[in-house]
């Protein structure tokens, strides 16, 4: 069985490092040399400015230097910004933490504009030849072209275009194991951008060993002061939106057939992309009276239901530091690098939990705006098990009803009606308590669904707020958070580093939030 | 660089009474030079070697500590009450027919406007008339005791155009206090305090849940922990960064970055700027979309504006003398 994970790039047989090889995992059994014509067909700046001209950079630093050398003075590609992140970046510099791998790495963006940068690369060391992850916007066909380097001499592989993320052969394989819909990933997308250097948490030079040359490297010394904030707004969000727009551009403009509607419906009904979010309270600054601002998306898909579909927004959910601290003690919360370093307490910012990925929200907005999915259908689907905004098996079970194709003409599509009909037909013969029955109940509220849904949500918000006032109420949510983190570990390839998530003594169990704000599953 | 001859006026703006401003700034620094903070210094009294690093510390203009039941409510509250805008940046919003036409941001400290009132009142009046309203009278800006009135009706309203910072914590004095006190290392349970919020709480350096206080305190404290001496870079003051406009969708596809117009200072050191669409484009700020929603609040722009300060980090060899929290 060939390795079809993102690790596949690290075990390829050596090849000529002066030739770009194509290795779209799942579609290609092994890397194969690309002809010059194939390289020239790639429409991104990395290929067109460097590789197609026989220029092969051997490190991240060289990529940047050679791109800048290849463009005129007024080109946006002369501009770069550097960012740094690392799961151990906020550990205090102590004797105990001296040997910990803080997994520090740089992210470089090249080019600026309303659509974000044209090129991004990520690498732990500016001078290393391998493990460079590079993505660059293809102006010919749209989407990002993904590249990976491996080996001591920087053997470059073209790992696919965003569109390959949606093709059956390469879906969720290779680089698309983490870039599931083809979009760039910023796991910690939102304030306070845990693990990123940001206004909320600096990464000081002491995060590097005293003799680490990265400590004085330009990428570190002149890193973007806004860090995660700047990357979120100038790079990650625009890049995800750019791909979503390009993905549906043709359908928006001239209509046509969607060959794999399941792909975008997965992004609505399932949780293929995941972001990580925390409160804004440092775990070391926890005091009994502080109010922790719990992420609302832990409780409800507020971005999908409220921001996009206009249903009632949740209130601010908070819990006191007193209650939270007791959970840390009771559940023996600790950080553990798996290599002998262990420290009591939570992640740098308290209560790290997974939430629905922004790239999936962008797609929801796109398909609703273009008329492929009606607002009513979207609301009724997301109101199936809305108490579990992420990793809901009940909601994802409805994927079985998605038709194999969909068409859209002049902004009108029968897709929503057809899908609703299919689910309603299944609901007629389905036993009570099934997601189909739940959908039917939602659908039968009619076109004035908003008032009914708002009532349901408001009742739920009130129930949650009441639970948050008690120790036992919040402990159930703490256990649910641990379950969701476990799901995140199991379902995605994004839990790559041992210091990303906290460890607890909470036994593994399937846990689900219920409408009354209680948690099933212990 | 030897001793600084004098502090320059904010953003290096021309000021015929620059010496008076410098004296005023010296007076703000003076209380912190009593020997209790040996790593804080006055660059007009001590040398600063050439090429001394001056790292930028930046944060978000939108108030972090503002809590509300929903994001929309946070945005509404922040737009409507300058006293909530506590990140060394304030803004006001101009609308036409309910739609936003202009959002004006400032980081200008009130101390400088007091200085102008004292040394060049006609210049002060000119600036108010140019930037706020042509009908401003000098008497509107004078308190009963003859001193400058920071919070005149011309500079407290939230609609329209503001002149300078008025929120109680948005002063040069507060920034100096923060930088000076953050040079003192702190210890808790035998360990040096390094986390931002914990440091602010331990040393009582402001609000741990603001963007600005923890960020400034942490950057200064880390530099101090390496034995260095620290002060605010000249000219001392707070500055605006360009807004992060990527992802803003304009009706004609224009790059929204073009709509940021600097009104005081320059691109390097911006003190005041407005976000406004030129009239010839046929649309206004309220027609621009962020994340699929039209701009309905100035706060949506403020969430993408950064404020910054530069601190001088002079190489030093001070031995760490951390103090316990609360002392």
Using CA atoms, how far residue A24 sits from A20, A31, A170, A181, in Å, is 13, 8, 7, 15
Q: Which residues contact A434 (CB under 8 A, 6 or more apart)?
A: A397, A427
A436 and A298 within one domain: yes
Question: Inter-chain contact B247–A241, Cβ cutoff 8 Å?
Answer: yes
Beta strands in B97-242 (DSSP E): 99-106, 186-188, 191-192, 229-232, 239-240
Decide if B270 is inside a domain: yes
Task: For residue B327, name the pLDDT band (cuts at 50, 70, 90).
Answer: confident
Tokens of B51: 């090429």
Q: Which residues contact B302 (CB under 8 A, 6 or more apart)?
A: B60, B61, B62, B78, B85, B89, B91, B103, B105
In this predicted model, what pLDDT tens digit does every residue of B175-214 receive, in sequence order?
Answer: 999 999 999 999 998 889 988 999 999 999 999 999 999 9
| Three-class DSSP category at B219 | helix
A323 and A227 within one domain: no
A452 and A369 within one domain: yes
**What residue of B is the nearest CA neighbor of A199?**
B59
Answer whether 0.80 is exceeded by the pTM: yes
Question: Inter-chain contact B58–A225, Cβ cutoff 8 Å?
Answer: yes
Task: For residue B69, name the pLDDT band (cuts at 50, 70, 90).
Answer: confident
Tokens 């749209």, residue located:
A142
B138 and B77 within one domain: yes
* DSSP codes, A130-168: SS-EEEEE-TTT-SEEEEEEETTTTEEEEEEEGGGGGST
Alpha helices, DSSP H only, in B212-306?
212-225, 298-302
Decide if A243 is inside a domain: no
Decide if B157 is inside a domain: yes
A285 and A174 within one domain: no
B119 and B66 within one domain: yes
Angle at which helices B196-203 and B212-225 pack, to 10 degrees?
90
B205 and B78 within one domain: no
| Option in A114, A206, A225 nearest B245 (CB) | A114
Decide if B18 is inside a domain: yes
Decide if A241 is inside a domain: no
Nearest Cα of chain A lies from the Cα of B17 at a distance, in angstroms, of 34
| Option in A94, A233, A282 nearest B247 (CB) | A233
B266 and B186 within one domain: no
Q: Please answer whether residues B256 and B248 qualify as being in contact, where contact means their C-beta atoms are separated by less than 8 angstroms.
A: yes
- Identify the H or E element spanning B261: strand B260-265
Decide if A247 is inside a domain: no
B225 and B276 within one domain: no
Decide if A454 is inside a domain: yes
A-B contacts at Cβ under 8 angstroms? 109
pLDDT at site A228: 96
Report chain B residues whose CB lies below 8 A from the CB of A202.
Answer: 196, 215, 218-219, 222
A260 and A168 within one domain: no
Q: Determine the Cα–Cα distance for residues B318 and B212; give it in Å rounded to an integer.
A: 26
Question: Inter-chain contact B257–A282, Cβ cutoff 8 Å?
Answer: no
**What residue of B is the nearest CA neighbor of A368?**
B292
B81 and B185 within one domain: no
Question: Inter-chain contact A114–B246, Cβ cutoff 8 Å?
Answer: yes
**What residue of A is the nearest CA neighbor of B294?**
A307
Report chain B residues whose CB lies below 8 A from the CB of A282.
Answer: 195-198
B86 and B120 within one domain: yes
Name which of B247, B253, B310, B322 to mutate to probe chain A: the one with the most chain A Cβ atoms within 10 A of its Cβ. B247
pLDDT at site A191: 93
A476 and A331 within one domain: yes
**What residue of A is the nearest CA neighbor of B249?**
A114
Domain count of chain B?
2
Judged against a pLDDT cut of 70, whether residue B1 lies above it is answered with no
Decide if B23 is inside a domain: yes
B272 and B188 within one domain: no
A176 and A282 within one domain: no
Domain that residue B254 falls in: 61-168+238-308
Q: Please answer whether residues B308 and B58 qualify as being in contact, where contact means their C-beta atoms are separated by less than 8 angstroms.
A: yes
Q: Determine the Cα–Cα distance for residues A518 and B5; give it in Å rounded to an integer.
A: 67
Q: Which residues contact A130 (CB under 8 A, 6 or more apart)?
A: A10, A149, A150, A151, A152, A154
Report chain A residues whose CB lies below 8 A from the CB of B308.
Answer: 225
B158 and B80 within one domain: yes
What is the per-residue burial (b if ≥16 Cβ within 10 Å, else e) of B69-88?
ebbbebbebbbeebebbbbb
Whole-complex ipTM: 0.89
Q: What is the mean pLDDT of each run of 10 residues along chain A (522 residues)?
A: 91 94 97 98 98 97 98 96 95 82 96 94 97 97 97 95 97 96 96 95 90 96 94 96 94 88 96 96 94 96 94 95 98 95 95 97 95 96 98 98 92 93 98 97 97 98 98 98 96 87 97 98 88
Decide if B193 is inside a domain: yes
A327 and A211 within one domain: no
User: By a Cβ cutoff of 8 Å, what residues of chain A touch chain B?
Assistant: 90, 92-94, 112-116, 191, 199-202, 204, 206, 225-226, 229-230, 233-235, 237-238, 241, 280-282, 284-285, 287, 291, 293, 307-308, 313-316, 348, 365, 369
Task: For residue B265, name the pLDDT band (cuts at 50, 70, 90).
Answer: very high
Q: Please answer whether residues A296 and A317 qualify as being in contact, where contact means their C-beta atoms are separated by less than 8 angstroms.
A: yes
Last residue of a domain, one of A198, A231, A264: A231
pLDDT at site A1: 79
Decide if A240 is inside a domain: no
A268 and A197 within one domain: no
B228 and B214 within one domain: yes
Decide if A280 is inside a domain: yes
A111 and A77 within one domain: yes
| Option in A90, A94, A229 nearest B60 (CB) | A229
Question: Inter-chain contact A313–B70, Cβ cutoff 8 Å?
Answer: yes
B180 and B301 within one domain: no
Q: Tell whether the torsion through CA atoms of B291, A249, A423 and A263 is positive or negative.
A: negative
Question: Inter-chain contact B306–A225, Cβ cutoff 8 Å?
Answer: yes
**What residue of B is the nearest CA neighbor of A92?**
B194
A499 and A428 within one domain: yes
Domain that residue A199 falls in: 6-231
Nearest Cα of chain A lies from the Cα of B143 at a distance, in angstroms, of 38
B249 and B273 within one domain: yes
Q: Tell whether the torsion through CA atoms of B23, B25, B31 and B34 is positive or negative.
A: negative
Decide if B3 is inside a domain: no
pLDDT at site A94: 79
- pLDDT averaged over every residue in chain B: 95
Determine how β-strand B99-106 pairs with β-strand B270-276: antiparallel
Decide if B20 is inside a domain: yes
Long-range contacts of residues B28-36, Cβ cutoff 8 Å, at least 24 apart: B28/B111, B28/B172, B28/B173, B28/B176, B29/B176, B29/B180, B29/B231, B32/B176, B32/B177, B32/B180, B32/B181
Decide if A248 is inside a domain: no
Question: Inter-chain contact A90–B56, Cβ cutoff 8 Å?
Answer: no
A149 and A271 within one domain: no
Domain count of chain A?
2
Q: Determine the Cα–Cα distance for residues A513 and A480; give it in Å rounded to an integer.
A: 8
Q: How many CA atoms lie within 13 A of A242 on its CB side?
A: 28
Question: Inter-chain contact B72–A313, Cβ cutoff 8 Å?
Answer: yes
Q: Which residues contact A322 (CB under 8 A, 6 or more apart)?
A: A288, A289
Decide if B189 is inside a domain: yes
| Option in A235, A282, A315 nearest B197 (CB) | A282
Decide if A106 is inside a domain: yes
Q: Kindly report whether the peptide bond that precedes residue B323 is cis, defined as omega within 30 degrees of 0.
A: no
Report chain B residues whose CB lies below 8 A from the CB of A280.
Answer: 64, 209
Nearest Cα of chain A lies from the Cα of B136 at a distance, in angstroms, of 37
- DSSP annotation of B246 reads T
């Amino acid at each position: 069985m060939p390795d079809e994970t993102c690790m596949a790039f690290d075990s390829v047989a050596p090849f000529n490092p002066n030739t770009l090889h194509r290795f779209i995992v799942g579609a290609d059994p092994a890397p194969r040399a690309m002809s010059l014509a194939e390289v020239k067909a790639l429409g991104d700046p990395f290929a067109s400015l460097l590789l197609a001209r026989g220029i092969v950079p051997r490190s991240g630093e060289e990529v940047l230097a050679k791109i800048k050398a290849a463009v005129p003075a007024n080109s946006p590609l002369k501009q770069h910004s550097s960012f740094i992140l690392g799961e151990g970046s906020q550990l205090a510099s102590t004797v105990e933490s001296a040997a910990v791998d803080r997994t520090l790495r740089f992210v470089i963006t090249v080019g600026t504009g309303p659509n974000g940068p044209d090129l991004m690369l990520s690498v732990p060391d500016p001078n290393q030849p391998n493990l460079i992850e590079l993505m660059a916007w293809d102006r010919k066909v749209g989407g990002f072209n993904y590249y990976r380097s491996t080996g001591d001499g920087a053997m470059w592989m073209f790992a696919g275009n965003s569109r390959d993320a949606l093709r059956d052969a390469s879906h969720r394989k290779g680089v698309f194991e983490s870039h599931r819909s083809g979009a760039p990933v910023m796991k910690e997308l939102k304030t306070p951008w845990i693990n990123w250097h940001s206004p909320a948490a600096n990464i000081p030079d002491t995060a590097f060993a005293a003799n680490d040359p990265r400590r004085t490297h330009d990428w570190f010394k002149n890193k973007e002061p806004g860090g995660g904030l700047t990357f979120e707004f100038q790079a990650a969000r625009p890049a995800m939106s750019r791909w979503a727009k390009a993905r549906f551009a043709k359908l928006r403009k001239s209509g046509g057939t969607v060959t794999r509607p399941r792909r975008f419906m997965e992004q609505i009904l399932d949780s293929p992309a995941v972001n990580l979010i925390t409160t804004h309270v440092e775990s070391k600054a926890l005091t009994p009276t502080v109010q922790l601002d719990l992420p609302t998306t832990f409780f409800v898909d507020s971005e999908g239901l409220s921001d996009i579909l206009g249903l009632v927004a949740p209130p601010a959910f908070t819990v006191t530091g007193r209650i939270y601290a007791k959970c840390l003690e009771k559940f023996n919360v600790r950080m553990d690098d798996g290599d002998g370093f262990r420290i009591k307490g939570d992640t740098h910012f308290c209560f790290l939990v997974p939430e629905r990925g922004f790239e999936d929200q962008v797609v929801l907005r796109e398909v609703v705006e273009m008329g492929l999915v009606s607002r009513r259908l979207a609301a009724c689907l997301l109101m199936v098990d809305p108490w579990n905004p992420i990793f809901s098996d009940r909601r994802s079970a409805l994927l079985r009803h998605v038709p194999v194709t969909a068409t859209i003409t002049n902004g009108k599509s029968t897709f929503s009606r057809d899908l609703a009909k299919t689910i309603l037909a299944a609901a007629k013969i389905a036993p009570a308590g099934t997601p189909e029955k739940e959908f039917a109940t939602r659908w039968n509220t009619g076109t004035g669904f908003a008032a009914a849904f708002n009532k349901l949500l408001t009742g739920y918000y009130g129930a949650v707020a009441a639970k948050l006032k008690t120790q036992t109420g919040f402990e159930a949510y703490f256990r649910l958070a641990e379950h969701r983190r476990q799901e995140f570990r199991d379902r995605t390839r994004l839990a790559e580093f041992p210091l990303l998530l906290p460890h607890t003594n909470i036994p593994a169990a399937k846990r689900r939030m219920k409408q009354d704000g209680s948690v099933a599953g212990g | 660089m030897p001793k600084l001859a004098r502090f320059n006026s904010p953003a290096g703006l021309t000021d015929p009474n620059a010496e008076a401003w410098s004296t005023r700034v010296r007076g703000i620094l003076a209380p912190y030079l009593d020997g209790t903070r040996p790593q804080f210094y006055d660059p007009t009294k001590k040398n600063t070697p050439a090429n001394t690093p001056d790292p930028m510390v930046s944060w978000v203009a939108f108030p972090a500590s503002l809590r509300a039941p929903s994001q929309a409510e946070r945005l509404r509250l922040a737009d409507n009450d300058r006293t909530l805008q506590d990140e060394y940046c304030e803004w006001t919003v101009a609308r036409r027919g309910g739609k936003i036409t202009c959002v004006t941001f400032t980081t200008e400290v009130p101390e400088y406007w007091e200085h102008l009132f004292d040394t060049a009142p006609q210049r002060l009046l000119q600036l108010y008339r140019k930037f706020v309203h042509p009908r401003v009278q000098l008497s509107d800006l004078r308190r009963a005791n003859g001193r400058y009135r920071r919070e005149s009706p011309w500079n407290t309203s939230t609609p329209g155009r503001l002149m300078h910072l008025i929120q109680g914590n948005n002063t040069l004095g507060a920034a100096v206090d923060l930088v000076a006190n953050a040079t003192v290392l702190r210890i808790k349970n035998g360990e040096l305090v390094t986390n931002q919020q914990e440091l602010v709480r331990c040393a009582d350096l402001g609000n741990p849940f603001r963007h600005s206080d923890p960020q400034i305190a942490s950057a200064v404290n880390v530099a101090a922990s390496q034995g260095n001496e620290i002060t605010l870079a000249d000219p001392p003051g707070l500055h605006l960064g360009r807004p992060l406009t990527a992802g803003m969708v304009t009706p004609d596809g224009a790059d929204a970055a073009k709509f940021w117009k600097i009104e005081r200072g320059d691109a390097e050191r911006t003190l005041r700027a407005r976000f406004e669409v030129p009239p010839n484009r046929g649309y206004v700020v309220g027609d621009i979309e962020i994340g699929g929603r039209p701009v309905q609040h100035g706060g949506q722009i403020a969430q993408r504006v950064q404020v910054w300060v530069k601190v001088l980090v002079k190489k030093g060899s001070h031995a760490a003398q951390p103090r316990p929290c609360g002392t």
